């Protein structure tokens, strides 16, 4: 199930790469979250879940939709106009690094430990390796694309910290995902019409339309439902491993179907990010330490 989820989320970078060749970012993301919202509300209705009524709840859902859908989806889509889908998948894997920093600042029960600091430093070193000297040479398109995806990762991290309030509010995770997709759509559809002017563009190909539909129905709506099913079955600690698998899926799909080739420096950066994430997770390091003591 974890492998399946990693392929779905890794596939989102592939579908974005196909869609962005013909459609602008706000239009892609606006359609993506609109389709996802329709499916997620259907799931909510089928399960008979309570829909929040209070303005306070919907204000919180608006913030969540902005942080967890509107901003990161748009930044990632923009980034893939400049960089390969596989590289975008690697960079978005830095989300837990940003989460450690954000949670350490805003959450009293998530203090930053020495182990987490080491993990963040190693992971950020991987990011620095991948962006490389381009950032010092006038910020070319590739560097800006990478920074956009990193901005998306930081936004995801902020959403993860902000989203903890919904447990206190008693709102079901599926209802939260439906609400955030809805508020994101309400933000992005007007932006698409005003900025992208999609009706003035050439009619997209079936591949572009199919990619947008796949992004909305499979990589967003179905992925969220699948995620919560795995969460209930395997627990939060085990599902965190999907962070390690998504970049691999994104790289493989880009290589197989888009002819993308990552440079050695990108693979080296991915290795450092994985090492940093393993330090934050801690289990592999504890297992190695226990083995060494036993020897």
Whole-model pTM over 0.85: yes
Which two three-digit tokens encode residue 110? 């998530």
| Domain encompassing residue 15 | 2-294
What number of other Cβ atoms are within 10 A of residue 88's Cβ?
31
Give percent helix, percent strand, percent coil of the chain, each to the nearest 5: 80, 0, 20
- Alpha-carbon distance of 27 to 219, in angstroms, equals 17
CA neighbor of 77 nearest in space, from 36, 33, 40, 41 = 33
Please state the domain count of the chain. 1
Token pair 């997770």 in the structure block, residue:
281
Q: What is residue 184's predicted lDDT score, i.e. its pLDDT?
A: 98
Query: Over its length of 295 residues, how does the chain's per-residue pLDDT go in tens digits?
Result: 889 999 999 999 999 999 999 999 999 999 999 999 999 999 999 999 999 999 999 999 999 999 999 999 999 999 999 999 999 999 999 999 999 999 988 887 788 888 889 999 999 999 988 877 655 555 567 889 999 999 999 999 999 999 989 989 999 999 999 999 999 999 999 999 999 999 999 999 999 999 999 999 999 999 999 999 888 887 766 777 788 889 999 999 999 999 998 888 888 999 999 999 888 877 666 666 565 565 6
Q: Is-contact 189 29, C-beta < 8 A?
A: no
Angle between helices 85-92 and 264-281 (to 10 degrees): 20
């Amino acid at each position: 199930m974890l492998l399946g989820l990693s392929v779905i989320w890794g596939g989102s970078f592939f579908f974005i790469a196909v869609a962005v060749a013909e459609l602008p970012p706000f239009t892609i993301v606006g359609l993506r979250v609109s389709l996802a919202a329709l499916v997620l509300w259907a799931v909510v209705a089928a399960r008979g879940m309570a829909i929040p009524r209070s303005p306070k709840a919907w204000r919180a859902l608006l913030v969540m939709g902005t942080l967890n859908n509107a901003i990161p989806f748009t930044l990632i889509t923009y980034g893939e106009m400049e960089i390969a889908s596989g590289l975008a998948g690697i960079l978005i894997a830095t989300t837990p690094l940003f989460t450690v920093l954000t949670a350490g600042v805003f959450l009293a029960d998530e203090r930053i430990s020495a182990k987490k600091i080491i993990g963040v430093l190693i992971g950020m070193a991987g990011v620095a390796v991948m962006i490389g000297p381009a950032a010092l040479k006038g910020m070319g398109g590739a560097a800006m694309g990478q920074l956009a995806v990193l901005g998306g990762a930081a936004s995801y991290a902020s959403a993860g910290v902000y989203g903890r309030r919904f447990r206190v509010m008693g709102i079901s995770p599926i209802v939260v995902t439906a609400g955030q997709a809805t508020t994101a759509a309400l933000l992005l559809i007007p932006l698409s019409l005003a900025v992208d002017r999609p009706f003035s563009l050439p009619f997209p190909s079936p591949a572009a339309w199919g990619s947008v539909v796949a992004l909305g129905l499979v990589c967003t709506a179905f992925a969220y439902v699948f995620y919560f099913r795995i969460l209930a079955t395997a627990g939060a600690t085990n599902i965190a491993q999907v962070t390690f698998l998504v970049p691999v899926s994104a790289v493989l799909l880009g290589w197989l179907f888009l002819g993308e080739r990552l440079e050695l420096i990108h693979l080296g950066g991915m290795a450092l990010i994985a090492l940093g994430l393993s330090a934050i997770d801690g289990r592999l390091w504890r297992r190695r330490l226990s083995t060494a003591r036993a020897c």
